[in-house]
Amino acid sequence: MADAGAPALPPQEVHYRLAWNTDGVTLAPPAAGDGASDASGDGAADTPIFALTNDLGVAFEVTRGWLVSYSFEATVCPADTTRASVLQRVWVQLVENVGVRSVWAGHGSLPVSPAQLRASYVEDLRDVMKPAEVGAVVLPHHRLYGLHLRLGRADDRAPALPTEVDMLRQTLHLQGRWRTLGQTTWTPFTWRTAVGWGEVHTLAAPHDTAWGGLELSARRTLASLVDHIDPSVMTEANAARQVLENVVAGVRVEATPHLH
């Protein structure tokens, strides 16, 4: 516990950011000559924004996609006994000891951590190359060890809902086409879900906010977005849920100083 006689350290801003690792993914492939033009015929809506092959050998071309990050929360080191850390440690214990991973994000009677940012941030997957700052919180002195990222349904506070599809009360909309190895024709798909999913990810090393402001970036792995999915045997609902699990499982948390 901190020395009661020591001067209080000033609070610091913690900024939450989203980014994608696009290694292994073909971004905006050309439509001509690769079979991309033989889908449903919506014009611009049929142009792939990225293409990839999953771990089962199924090829996918994604033409539209939106993903909602419901909340972000820096988690404190378990040894942190400062008074302000209590609510955060309750969340950590619930996640680690009870095994809470799949969640209806933002619902229930669990305590709200002072580090939690309820964002309802709707992310357009056309912008996978553009890191985004979602928001910031101001925290007293802590040693932070991770980030709890929760995906969940977009609500009325979402700052930018798309006009192309209805994302209100939805977590994911993913649209495109797929084909298995050896096939020459594409099969269109549209996956939507309102379920949520969350998990705590640890930093490579704890970060002390006494060092100054901090940016916590959740860098997801685009190449694993549709892993473990065989659309020929999996329902649309289960495929959508698997996408959420893949997004959360593929997170690497990066901490960098925030320069004012």
CA–CA dist 149, 203 (Å, integer): 13
Q: State mean pLDDT over 146-173.
A: 93
Kindly state whether residue 5 falls inside one of the protein's structural domains. no
Q: Would you give the end-to-end CA distance of the chain in angstroms?
A: 29
Closest CA to 70 of 194, 221, 214, 216: 194
Closest CA to 188 of 66, 61, 28, 52: 61
53 close to 179: Cβ distance less than 8 angstroms: no
Kindly state whether residue 7 falls inside one of the protein's structural domains. no
151 vs 209, residue with greater confidence: 151
> How far from 118 is each of 12, 77, 102, 186, CA to CA, in Å?
18, 21, 17, 39
Kindly state whether residue 4 falls inside one of the protein's structural domains. no
CA–CA dist 214, 207 (Å, integer): 9
Q: Please, which pLDDT band fits residue 114 given cuts at 50, 70 and 90?
A: confident
CA–CA dist 91, 6 (Å, integer): 28
One DSSP character per residue, 127-138 reads GTTS-EEEEEEE
Kindly state whether residue 2 falls inside one of the protein's structural domains. no
Kindly state whether residue 37 falls inside one of the protein's structural domains. yes
Q: Which range marks the domain in which residue 170 is found? A: 12-257
**Which segment of 123-132, 152-161, 186-195 scores lowest on mean pLDDT?**
152-161
Q: State mean pLDDT over 33-57.
A: 69
**What total number of domains does the chain contain?**
1
Q: State mean pLDDT over 166-184.
A: 95
Q: Output the pLDDT for position 40.
A: 42
Q: Please, which pLDDT band fits residue 91 given cuts at 50, 70 and 90?
A: very low
**DSSP summary character for residue 168:** B
Q: Output the pLDDT for position 5.
A: 54
Kindly state whether residue 6 falls inside one of the protein's structural domains. no
Q: Please, which pLDDT band fits residue 206 given cuts at 50, 70 and 90?
A: confident
pLDDT tens profile 125-134: 999 999 999 9
CA–CA dist 69, 118 (Å, integer): 9
260 close to 213: Cβ distance less than 8 angstroms: yes
Q: Please, which pLDDT band fits residue 180 given cuts at 50, 70 and 90?
A: very high
Residues in the chain, total: 260
